[in-house]
Structure 1
Amino acid sequence: MSTLAEMLPHSASAGAVRLWLKSSAYTRRLLLGSEQADPWENAAGYLAYFVQAHGLLRPDVAVVEVGELIDAWCARDGGLAARLGNRRRPATALRKLLESEAPKAMLAEVVTAVLSHLRGQTPLVLSMPSPRAWLLHANRLAGGTDDEIDADTVEDAAMYVADLIRSVSAFPVAGLLLEEQRDDQALEAAHIERYRSVLNVAGHYRWSLALRLPSGVRLPPRGLRRLCRGDW
């Protein structure tokens, strides 16, 4: 198994810093005119945007923002609340957000196109909300409150996220970045322990893993390493 670090392009300077940029908001504003612009209408359109963005910044890691793709598709499909009816449980909200085959097919097309463009010269990372973060997001879209979410619900969310990951399991993805909500000061190590189904799937496909915590939140690194048995 190769780690993400081993896949990064070599530099002429020993010990040179490699560049990983979370630049979606910036490049959408610069190239598409607005941070709210939607580059996800089809794979060809996204690839054109991606090529411009990647060529502009030249990072050493290529990133596809899976959460943005799902949100864009959901908005074009009429929003989440309209599909939920009277079902307002947080886990149901996330399941309805992630279960449709159309955005999964779109993601597969996008990953195919991006990998073809990269030609193995730059590792591709899929960035997405963590199970807890996606659960909070879907629940807010459905009009729910954060206090409706408990550890068991997070475990259900992890199963739905794992199923989404399986839809692109055949591709040579280098890594998976799970991002917590920036404002989630209630995050605990016990929540991350419920991500096991996602971690198992990523480990099965030999994808490197990274976790981006909210600002100011610190979790015990020993417990995280034991949970993941991999490279966070």
Structure 2
Amino acid sequence: MNGPEITCHFAPELHLFIAAERREGRTAVVTDGSSTLGHVVESLGVPLTEVGQLLVDGREVPVSHIPRADETVEVRPVTRPQQVPGAPLRFLLDVHLGTLARRLRLLGVDAAYESEDIGDPALAARSAAEKRVLLSRDRGLLRRREIWAGAYVYSHRPEDQLRDVLERFAPVLAPWTRCTACNAPLRAADKDTVRERLEHGTSSTYDVFAACTSCDRVYWRGAHHSRLEAIVDGAMAEFGGAAHGH
């Protein structure tokens, strides 16, 4: 680039995306004179999915703003909770976020998930077609223009990933209402109707069952239930009261 020089300041929340030398204070950036500010910010490593307000000399500008010489740019993170206008709040997770997808479903959150790597173009296309917020740790994927909306998942630990998504988007939580295997809604199931799909010990020990409305998987409060209940209780205690619909 050999055009106007601007000065950029990135919020601390965005520092992990940029080179170390650009993290302290204000940093000089030479632009090409024709690229948008959004393009400049992305070229420095920050996906636009993670950018909130862009301020130029103190006034908010759109990502389409063309930087001019000597402008001072402040790049802020998205405001939390983040509003996603124009569609019910639904998610699409890439192949690396299977545990997060199952935990979101456990809480009743609509979380589609590709168990196989279908490729970035196909994921982006599904995000657009189904109006789903694409969750990923792949910055390149989040830079694809065709995605409906996207969000970077900041941690590699499922516990922290779940808290991050719940804090950022504040989805309505409805635990135990969605199939963790396929994402479809659950329905109450009579013991007699599911008996043939149960092992004898399960049939004689438990009386309350649910079945998936799509894949027919049967659920009951088995030995693993206390671990799942701890995840649900923790999420509801922290985020259940503040949840709101879209």
Pick the TM interval, shorter chain.
under 0.3
Task: Report the structure, 1 or 2, having the larger helix content.
Answer: 1
TM-score between the two structures when normalised by the length of structure 1: 0.25
Q: TM-score, normalised by structure 2?
A: 0.24
Structure scoring higher RCO (CA < 8 A, sep ≥ 6) equals 1
